Amino acid sequence: MEVLKIIDNLKDLLIKYTSNSESLLEEELNLIFNKIENINFKEDIDNYAEFVLLGASLFEIKAKRLLPQEEEIDWIDEIELMKDKDLAFARLLQFKAFSEVGIALASRIKNSENSVPAFKYYQTKDLLIKPDIEYEIDIKNFEDVSREVFTRYKTFKGFEHIDKDLPDIQDSIDELLQVVDKRLTTSFEELVLGVKTTEEAVAFFLALLETVKWGFIKAEQDNIDREINIEKNYE
């Protein structure tokens, strides 16, 4: 088919342009444009759309080359731009397709509604009277239920921390300030040397953040691998 042949020629030419080779043949281009002028475009719409896209890309590139250029065109950028255009075009086609399919589905629904199902009491299930919920309770039951409710949370995953004996942040702050007062300078690593549990280390770190925030001490760390140096803030 003539159009397909021209499209193939256009594709070849586009590849030559975009590869930034010097093999641009003016004659080849003129030949294609002459064919375009002579061809009858009553071909199918898909080919026509592809032709328009390719033609537009080619013209755009040619127009850019005609402009005065101080520096080399970045062909990588041009290819990226073309990829974006292809993607946008593909999305447009996808959207167009779903749009048509939506109309086709509506047509199916319209046809199927030409026959109407027998009248149904679609809501009968909901209209039926629901059985009463019977729950007998006496003082003893109530006491048992209450006890269960107030103790059950301990058995739930995620609530274990509630009864956990965690270190007190205020105590950690006091301890931290005492150490800093005595030593004048120290490091966070030294402070946590003596702790036995992760929770205590976390408490010390929180205490450090609080005391820095309040301006009692200064803390510095040159980079993530180095120690956190702590000193009293005399300002």
Least gap, CB of 154 to other proteins (angstroms): 29
139 in contact with other proteins (CB under 8 A): no
Tell me the C-alpha distance between 219 and 234, whole Å: 13
120 in contact with other proteins (CB under 8 A): yes
Beta bridge partners of 229: 187, 220
Q: 70-88 burial, b if ≥16 CB within 10 A, otherwise e?
A: eeeeeeeebeeebeeeeee
94 in contact with other proteins (CB under 8 A): yes
Neighbours of 57 (CB within 10 A): 19
Tell me the C-alpha distance between 48 and 54, whole Å: 10
Tell me the C-alpha distance between 168 and 152, whole Å: 26
- DSSP, collapsed to helix, strand or coil, labels residue 208 as helix
Least gap, CB of 109 to other proteins (angstroms): 5
Only one of the segments 78-86, 97-105, 169-177, 186-194 lies at the binding site for other proteins (rule: CB under 8 A); that segment is: 97-105
- Pick the binder of other proteins from 15, 79, 101, 209 (CB under 8 A): 101
Task: Retrieve residue 120's tokens.
Answer: 């149904």
Tell me, by CB under 8 A, how many residues bind other proteins: 30
Q: 8-24 burial, b if ≥16 CB within 10 A, otherwise e?
A: ebbeebeebbeeeeeee
Only one of the segments 20-28, 87-95, 163-171, 182-190 lies at the binding site for other proteins (rule: CB under 8 A); that segment is: 87-95
Closest to other proteins by CB, 113 vs 163, is 113
Least gap, CB of 101 to other proteins (angstroms): 4
Closest to other proteins by CB, 111 vs 155, is 111
42 in contact with other proteins (CB under 8 A): no
Q: Which residues bind other proteins (CB under 8 A)?
A: 44, 91, 94-95, 97-106, 108-118, 120-122, 124-125
